[in-house]
Structure 1
Amino acid sequence: MNPQPHTLLVNPTITSRHSARFPLSLLHLALSLDRVGSSRIVDGNLDRDVVDATLRALDERACTAVGISVMGGPHVAPAIAISRAVRAHRPELPIVWGGYFPTLYTDTVLAAPYVDYAIRGQGEDSLRELVDALHAGDASRLPTISGLSWKHEGGISHNPARAFSRNGPPTLLPYDKLGDPRRYLARTYLGRRTVAHQAAVGCRFHCTFCGVAAMFGGATALPPAARLDRDLTYLKHELGADSVQYFDHNFFDREQDMIPLLEVMARHELPWWCFARADALLNLSESSWKLVRRSRLRMAYIGAESPSPTMLKEIRKGTRPDQTMAVAEACRRHGVIPEFSFMVAPPENTEEETEHTFEFIRALKRVNPQSEIVIYIYTPLPDSSRHEKDRLRHPTATLRDLHGEPVVFPSTPDEWTQKHWVDYACHADAPWLSEKLRQRIDDFVTVLRCRYPTVQDLRSPPWAKRTLAAAASWRYRLRRYDRPWELTLANRLVRLRLPQAEGL
C-alpha cells in the first residue's frame, strides 16, 4: 500500500475544447486532498478521449479512489462511460460521484452498479475524509463522514448533511495540475484571454428551480478582499488574463460586503461578467455604481424568469417584474449590458404565460435595446431533489404531463441520458409542453436573436449580423414569428452564437 492516498479526479467531457474553462470544483478538491495525500486531474474538456486518458492514469499510478464530478444533463452520459470503464479495468477501485447531480439525485446515482459513494453538497472535506478512510481500510469511519451517501450490504446509508463551510481555499488553487493553465484562457466578448474564476459560493435565495438553492440551502460566503486580490494578481500577472468570467452563484450580495471586493477589482481593471440579481443591483448607491464602472463590469446575467408576480412568488424568486424593468434602465445608464434569462412554458397557464413573457421581453427591449435575452423552458426540480428545509416548508404541486399524468422522474443515471430528460435538465423541454407551443417558442427565439444578434458573437462578421437584423425586423415589428424559414436558412450560413448553449 502507498504510504499516502492518491486520488484520480475526472471531469467528464461537456463542452468543446475552445469553450473549456478551469474545472474549478476539481481544483478545490485537489487542494483539499493534497493535505493528506496526492491527486491528479483528468479534464475531458481538453483530453477528448477522456475514458482512455482515465485508464492510462490508473495504469501509471495506483489510486485509492476515482472521483468524478457530475453536473447533470449532457454531463451524465460521459460520466457513466468513464465509470463503467473504470469498473471493468479496476473492479476493486472505489468510484465516487460528486457535484450537483449526485446531490440532487443521490438515490438515483447509487442505484447504478458503477457508483459506490456519492458526496452531497460541498465536497472538499467529505471526499478527503472518505479517501483517508478507504486508504486506511477502516470502514468504521464511513458513518461519521458528513455529506456522504454510501452502499453497504444492508442497503444505502445517507449520513447527515455537512454544515456549509465559509472557508475558502487558504492558498492558490493548484492550477499546475492542469498542465499549462493558459490553455484555459479564451477569446470572448470580454477580452482576448478571458479566465474563469469563482470568488463567492452559494446564494441566500431559495428558488424552486435552482440547483444552487438545492445544494446550499440559502447559505452563501463571499471571499475576503485579500484572497480575491491574491487570486486576481496570479491570474493577471502570472497567467496573462485580461478579463474574468466569474462563476459565482450570485456575485452581488449586500452592498457593504461588496464594496471591498469591488475596490480590489477596480485596482486590477479586468473587464468582467457575473451572475447578479435585479434587486441587489437596484440597491447599490451611486457611489457603489461608480465603483462598478471603475471595476469594468461589462455584462451581468440577471434571472428575470417571468413577468408574472404570481409565478415569481410561486418559484420563490424574491424579485418583481418592475425591478427587472428598473434594472434594465439602471444598467443602460451605467454602461453595463444586462443579460436577462426568462423561463417560459410553466406547467400552469402554459400558453398564456409564454405569450405574456414575449410581450414583456419586447417592452424590456424598448427600455434598453442592448439587453441580452436568454429563454429557457421552465423545468422545476422534483421535490425530492430540493434542499430538505425548502422541501418541508414549501412543498410544490405535483407536476403533470400533457395527458394529466404525474411526471415520473428517472430512477437511474442511464435513464437521465435519454434525450427528453437531458433536455429537461438543460431547460430545453418539458413533459407538459405541446409540439405547437414548442415550435412557437423556437420561432420567437429565432426572430428575436436575428433581430438583436448578441454582442457575445465574435465569429459572425458585422455585415452578416446587420443583414440578419434587417431581415428579421418586419417579422419582429409585426409579431409574425411563425415559421421564419428565411431566418432559419440564413442562420445555417451565419451560425449566430447561442449564449445559453455555448456560454460566454
Structure 2
Amino acid sequence: MPNPPNTLLVNPTITRRASARFPLSLLHLSATLDRSGSSRIIDGNIDRHFVASTLRAIEQDRFDAVGISVMGGPQTAPAIAVSQAIRERFPALPIVWGGYFPTLYPEVALSAPYVDYAIRGQGEKTLQELVTALSAEPSAAPANIAGLSWKHQGTVVHNPNRHFSFADPGRVLPYDKLGDPRQYLARTFLGRRTAAHQVAIGCRFRCTFCGVAAMFGGTTMLPAAARLERDLSYLKYKLGADSIQYFDHNFFDREEDMLPLLEVMAKYAMPWWCYARADALLNLSDEAWKLVRKSRLKMAYIGAESPNGQMLKEIRKGTRPDQTLAVAELCRRHGVIPELSFMVAPPENTEEETEHTFEFIRELKRINPESEIIVYVYTPLPESSRHEKDRGRRAATPLRDINGEPVMFPSTPEEWTQPQWVNYACHADAPWLDDKMRRRIHDFVTVLRCRYPTVQDLNSPPWAKRALSATASWRYRFRRYDRPWELNLANRLVRLRMPQVSGL
C-alpha cells in the first residue's frame, strides 16, 4: 500500500524577523494537504537559514514535492536560491511554485530549470491533487489538474483555470507547525500582541493594476460567522492576541454579508486594521457603523489611487475622487484613521498628474489631518498577467520607457531580481521616470512624512517626531519640497517608519 503523500511547504524570506506575520497561505495549504496526507512548513521570515533547513528536512524525511510560495519583488531572489539548492542536491524531487508570481507570470516561472510546476490562483486543491498524483506515479502527466501549468516535451502547458472555492477546514489552522505561534504576535500601534488573520478571500472588483484581480478574477468569498468566532477565540484566548491585522483583499463588501462578521468582532472588541474601499464605507448603514465602532476598528487602508476621475475609470477602480474626500471626513467622525494610498507618475502626463495628486493629498490632510498617506509609483501589470476574463477588454496604451522604446518585461525569474524590476514590483520606480521626477516624488514624500509622522511609528521618540514636524512645517506650508537637505539629515538620526515599506 503506497504511503500517503507528504509535502514540504516553504515560505522564502521576504521581511525582517521582527516583521514576520503568520504565513497564512501555507497554513491554508497545510490544512488541506493534511486531509489526505501530511505536510511540513518552513518559514524563511523566522528561520533566517531557511535554505539549509529545507535541505536538512529533505534529507531527514521523504517528500513527494516541495511547494514554494513566491511573491514578486524581494521574495523572488530567495525563492530562486532555495529552488536551485533543492535541484542541485535532490534533482528528482518535484518543485512547485505557487502564489502571486507564478499566477501572474507562469511562463516566466517555468522558464527556470528549477521549477517543474506552477500553480495559478487559489492553490489548495490544485496542490493537493498534484502531490496525490505524484505520490502514486511521479512521472504521470497532470493534464487533468485545473489551475496548473507544467512542462511537457520542452513546451509549457496551461491547464484550464480552477474555479474559486471557499472551503472551511473545519478547525483552527495548524499554527503549531510554526513552532511557537506566539513569536508571530507583534507590537504595533493596534496593541502589544497583534495577530495577522484573513476573513474574506478575493475581491469582486477588477482593477487593471491589481494582482488580486488577476488572481481571483472578480470573485470574493466570506466565511460563516461561526468560523470567524472559532478563529478569534483561538487567537485571543489560546495565543493571547490583543489586536488583529486583517489581510482581507477587500474587507467591507456587501453589508448584509458583513453584519454577522461585525457582530462577532464586536463581541471580541480587539482593535483592528483592514483593507477597505471608499464607496463601501460610505454606503455602510448607521447599524453597521455602530458595530464597526464597537468592534474597535482603528485604521482602514483605502486605495484612493488618483484624483483624476477619468484615470480611475480607465483602471476600472470603480470609485470617484469626491468619494475619497468624503470618506476622509466620514472616518474622522467615526474615529477611524483612513490610510489612503495613491499611485503617482503614470506613463501619460506624468508630471501633471503627479503634481495634481500632491495637491489632492494636501486637501485630504486639510479635511482630516489624521489621514495617513501612502505614495506609490503607478506600475501596471503586463497585459498577459491580467485575468483571462479581462485580457483585451480595454486596449491598453503600450508602455514606453524614458527613451520612448517599448517596455520589455523580464522573461526569467532571475531578471525579475534586478533592482529596477524589484522596484517596479514594489511600486517604487518605473522605466518612464527620469531622475528629476524620481527626486520630486522622493522630496515630496520626505516633507509629507516629516510634517505628519505616521501613528504607526512606535520606535521614534515623541519629541523627535514633534521636532521633525516643526522643522518640515514651513516647507509643507509653502510647497517648498525640493531638496529638503535638513530633513534628510534629520532622518539619519531619527528613522521614521515608512508604512509603504514595512507596513504595520
Secondary structure at the aligned position of 1:18 is classed as helix
Matched residue, 1:239:
239
Matched residue, 2:303:
303
Distance 1:143 1:466 in 2: 62
User: What amino acid maps onto 2:147 in structure 1?
Assistant: G
Q: Decide whether the 8 Å contact of 2:338 with 2:372 is kept in 1.
A: yes
Q: Decide whether the 8 Å contact of 1:251 with 1:276 is kept in 2.
A: yes
1:376 aligns with 2:376: yes
Matched residue, 1:420:
420
Q: Decide whether the 8 Å contact of 2:70 with 2:98 is kept in 1.
A: yes
User: What amino acid maps onto 1:50 in structure 2?
Assistant: F
Matched residue, 2:55:
55
Secondary structure at the aligned position of 1:444 is classed as helix
- Runs of 4+ displaced beyond 2 Å: 138-141, 166-170
Matched residue, 1:90:
90
* Residue 392 of structure 1: how far off its partner (Å): 3.0
Q: Among the aligned pairs, what percent are the same residue? A: 74
TM-score (norm 2): 0.99
Matched residue, 1:72:
72
Matched residue, 1:117:
117
Distance 2:389 2:263 in 1: 36
User: What amino acid maps onto 1:307 in structure 2?
Assistant: P
**Aligned Cα RMSD in Å?**
0.9
User: What amino acid maps onto 1:131 in structure 2?
Assistant: V
Q: Decide whether the 8 Å contact of 2:134 with 2:140 is kept in 1.
A: no
* Residue 426 of structure 1: how far off its partner (Å): 0.2
Matched residue, 1:340:
340
Distance 2:292 2:355 in 1: 35
Q: Decide whether the 8 Å contact of 1:166 with 1:220 is kept in 2.
A: no
Counterparts of residues 42-441 of structure 1 (less than 5 Å): 42-137=42-137, 139-140=139-140, 142-441=142-441
Q: Decide whether the 8 Å contact of 1:96 with 1:117 is kept in 2.
A: yes
Greater shift after overlay, 345-354 or 152-161?
152-161
Distance 1:138 1:55 in 2: 20
Q: Decide whether the 8 Å contact of 1:205 with 1:218 is kept in 2.
A: yes
Distance 1:380 1:209 in 2: 5
Distance 2:254 2:435 in 1: 43
Number of equivalent positions: 504
Q: Decide whether the 8 Å contact of 2:2 with 2:136 is kept in 1.
A: no
* Residue 156 of structure 1: how far off its partner (Å): 1.4
Distance 2:130 2:67 in 1: 11
Q: Decide whether the 8 Å contact of 1:200 with 1:248 is kept in 2.
A: yes
Secondary structure at the aligned position of 1:298 is classed as strand
* Residue 167 of structure 1: how far off its partner (Å): 2.4
Matched residue, 2:455:
455
User: What amino acid maps onto 2:31 in structure 1?
Assistant: L
Distance 1:407 1:308 in 2: 24
Q: Decide whether the 8 Å contact of 1:30 with 1:39 is kept in 2.
A: yes
Structure 1: segments with no counterpart, 5+ residues:
none
User: What amino acid maps onto 2:331 in structure 1?
Assistant: C
Distance 1:242 1:434 in 2: 45
Secondary structure at the aligned position of 1:375 is classed as strand
Distance 2:218 2:394 in 1: 14
Structure 2: segments with no counterpart, 5+ residues:
none
Distance 2:156 2:221 in 1: 32
Secondary structure at the aligned position of 1:389 is classed as coil
Secondary structure at the aligned position of 1:364 is classed as helix
Secondary structure at the aligned position of 2:302 is classed as strand
User: What amino acid maps onto 2:478 in structure 1?
Assistant: L
Q: Decide whether the 8 Å contact of 2:205 with 2:218 is kept in 1.
A: yes
Deviation digits for residues 302-345 of structure 1 (CA, Å, limit 9, x no counterpart): 00000000110111100000000000000000000000000000
Q: Decide whether the 8 Å contact of 1:383 with 1:395 is kept in 2.
A: no
* Residue 36 of structure 1: how far off its partner (Å): 1.2
